């Protein structure tokens, strides 16, 4: 049986479960198309009833075109002794994502034109892509780069780039209304844990929890390739976009950094106010940043033709930590406790979103007598679970059709839960009605 209560009690095992999912997905070589993406979605189907959708290569999606599908089997660089010095099987970041197939022998000078390393972090392998320009290349540690000798090398990339499709996953949870909350995460990176897998994992466990509840809103979860995925989804589903009233893009939610929330383009949407309130009340370090048209898929959802109320929930933002888009964004960089903390903050925000309402007092001229309605008896011993008298008075005073429960909580500096319980009690005594 479904319940209306969003339980956010601490569960020490939850973070470990999310981390285990990340560990399972970590070895897969994903890209914006291809079998690695499909394998990832099939694993997610073990957790939630995800629908997998395919959009053919060549489909025009606004100013973009669904690209050719890329798949890779193997890749390496061998020295003149026939030894593999770079091996895709050891680290899938070694190959520039979307590299075209190649098999040839070349000298060092020519090889260096196709190599990428990080001099400032000589033990890390960078992550590089070539989605929309046919090319090939290898990424390696700078130590490996410096160890290269002036000799002939065999380069081999067993990949394919041909017509196929773009794949994405979608899970819809119906609520009481057709109004939707969108939860979106890019799922196209290879072995990168914080930027990619952490958002996927938190989204999956949020979906699991929400599917067990009686909900006011409907929820749509998207697992898509970055940029082209959101553009494609918006194009293919433009007729239903007007149903989306709130939304979050989840990414980089598994590291030790402080919480960061990037507001929607609107800047004052309900989801912006709620997440800011939740982070303020959490007692944890956080930062709220204004929208800017770069980053993740929020920039597509917030493009002026849609202007959806979608913000981006993160810990350390993209590009702000040295491990970003490198092999150091690994299973040691994300931790179960940070994943669980991110999950709890998101769930708290959704709890407020579900419960937030605007009311109008049915007895607005002076305070009504609470005692004759049994509300003072409910206040009674002032236990933690009892109604708060001051919360009742705040709700009555601000129930003018212009203040939401969140507005009341912020103005009164009282917990949202206390305000919500007071409003429920007043509704039961016919002192309020929902606007």
Rounded Cα distance between 333 and 327, Å, is 10
Q: Both ends of the chain: CA-CA distance in Å?
A: 29
> Of 306, 329, 355, which closes a domain?
355
Rounded Cα distance between 79 and 148, Å, is 9
How many domains would you assign to the chain?
A: 3
Band (pLDDT 50/70/90 cuts) for residue 372 is confident
Rounded Cα distance between 384 and 434, Å, is 26
Q: Around Cβ 148, how many Cβ atoms within 10 Å?
A: 17
What is the H or E stretch that residue 22 is in?
Answer: helix 12-25
Rounded Cα distance between 65 and 245, Å, is 28
Residue 299 is assigned to a structural domain of this protein: yes
Rounded Cα distance between 291 and 266, Å, is 8
Residue 186 is assigned to a structural domain of this protein: yes
- Give residues with Cβ within 8 angstroms of 117, minimum separation 6: 126, 139, 140, 141, 142, 144, 145
Same domain for 171 and 145? Answer: no
Smallest Cα–Cα separation from 312: which of 325, 296, 293?
Answer: 296
Q: Around Cβ 172, how many Cβ atoms within 10 Å?
A: 14
Annotated binding residue 195: yes
Q: Two tokens at 154?
A: 């065999």
Residue 103 is assigned to a structural domain of this protein: yes
Rounded Cα distance between 35 and 87, Å, is 20
Q: What is the mean pLDDT of the chain?
A: 94
> Of 355, 387, 407, which closes a domain?
355
CATH code of the domain in which 137 resides: 3.50.30.90
Q: Over the stretch 210-225, which tens digit does the pLDDT of each residue have?
A: 999 999 999 999 999 9
> Of 143, 162, 181, which closes a domain?
162
Handedness of CA 198, 204, 205, 207 (dihedral sign): positive
Annotated binding residue 403: no
Same domain for 227 and 342? Answer: yes
Burial (CB < 10 A; 0-12, 13-18, 19+), residue 81, is: exposed
CATH code of the domain in which 371 resides: 1.10.10.10
Same domain for 62 and 144? Answer: no
Band (pLDDT 50/70/90 cuts) for residue 435 is confident
Is the pLDDT at 6 greater than 60? The verdict is: no
Percent residues over pLDDT 90 in the chain: 91
Annotated binding residue 325: yes
Residue 2 is assigned to a structural domain of this protein: no
Band (pLDDT 50/70/90 cuts) for residue 107 is very high
Whether the CB-CB separation of 404 and 353 falls below 8 Å is answered with no
Q: How much is the average pLDDT of 98-117?
A: 98
**pLDDT value, residue 406:** 98
User: Which domain covers residue 90, as residue numbers?
Assistant: 69-162
Q: How much is the average pLDDT of 161-172?
A: 98
Same domain for 199 and 216? Answer: yes
Same domain for 57 and 195? Answer: yes
Residue 391 is assigned to a structural domain of this protein: yes
Whether the CB-CB separation of 70 and 31 falls below 8 Å is answered with yes
Same domain for 169 and 276? Answer: yes
Is the pLDDT at 359 greater than 90? The verdict is: yes
Beta strands in 229-350 (DSSP E): 244-250, 259-262, 286-289, 310-314
Q: Is this structure's pTM higher than 0.85?
A: yes
> Who has greater pLDDT, 9 or 240?
240
Q: Over the stretch 27-73, which tens digit does the pLDDT of each residue have?
A: 999 999 999 999 999 999 999 999 999 999 999 999 999 999 999 99
Residue 57 is assigned to a structural domain of this protein: yes
Q: Over the stretch 376-431, which tens digit does the pLDDT of each residue have?
A: 654 444 444 456 889 999 999 999 999 999 999 999 999 999 999 999 999 999 89
Q: Over the stretch 141-163, which tens digit does the pLDDT of each residue have?
A: 999 999 999 999 999 999 999 99
């Amino acid at each position: 049986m479904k319940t209306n209560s969003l339980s956010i009690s601490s569960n020490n095992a939850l973070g470990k479960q999310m981390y285990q999912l990340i560990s399972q997905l970590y070895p897969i070589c994903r890209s914006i198309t291809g079998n690695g993406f499909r394998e990832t979605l099939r694993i997610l189907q073990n957790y939630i009833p995800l629908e997998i959708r395919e959009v053919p290569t060549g489909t025009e999606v606004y100013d973009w075109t669904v690209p050719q599908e890329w798949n890779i089997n193997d890749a390496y660089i061998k020295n003149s002794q026939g030894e593999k010095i770079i091996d895709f099987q050891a680290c899938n970041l070694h190959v520039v994502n979307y590299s075209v197939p190649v098999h040839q022998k070349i000298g060092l000078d020519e090889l260096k034109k196709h190599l990428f390393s990080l001099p400032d972090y000589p033990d890390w392998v960078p992550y590089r892509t070539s989605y929309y320009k046919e090319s090939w290349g290898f990424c390696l540690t700078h130590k490996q780069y410096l160890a290269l000798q002036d000799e002939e090398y065999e380069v081999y990339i067993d990949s394919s780039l041909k017509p196929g499709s773009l794949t994405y996953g979608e899970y819809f949870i119906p609520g009481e209304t057709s109004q939707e909350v969108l939860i979106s995460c890019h799922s196209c990176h290879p072995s990168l844990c914080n930027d990619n897998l952490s958002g996927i994992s938190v989204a999956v466990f949020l979906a699991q929890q929400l599917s067990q509840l009686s909900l006011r809103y409907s929820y749509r979860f998207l697992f898509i390739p970055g940029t082209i995925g959101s553009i494609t989804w918006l194009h293919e589903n433009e007729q239903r976009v007007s149903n989306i009233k709130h939304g979050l893009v989840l990414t980089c939610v598994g590291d030790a950094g402080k919480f960061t929330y990037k507001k929607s383009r609107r800047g004052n949407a309900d989801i912006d106010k709620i997440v800011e309130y939740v982070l303020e009340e959490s007692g944890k370090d956080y930062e709220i940043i204004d929208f800017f048209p770069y980053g993740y898929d929020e920039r597509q959802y917030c493009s002026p033709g849609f202007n959806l109320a979608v913000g981006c929930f993160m810990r350390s933002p993209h590009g702000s930590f040295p491990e970003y888009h490198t092999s150091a964004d690994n299973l040691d960089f994300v931790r179960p406790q940070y994943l669980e903390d991110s999950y709890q903050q998101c769930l708290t925000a959704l709890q407020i979103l579900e419960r937030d309402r605007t009311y109008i007092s049915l007895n607005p001229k002076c305070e009504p007598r609470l005692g004759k309605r049994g509300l003072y008896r409910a206040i009674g011993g002032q236990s933690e679970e009892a109604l708060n008298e001051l919360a009742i008075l705040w709700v009555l005073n601000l129930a003018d059709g212009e203040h939401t429960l969140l507005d009341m909580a912020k103005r009164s500096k009282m917990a949202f839960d206390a305000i919500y319980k007071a409003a429920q009690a007043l509704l039961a005594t016919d002192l309020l009605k929902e606007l």
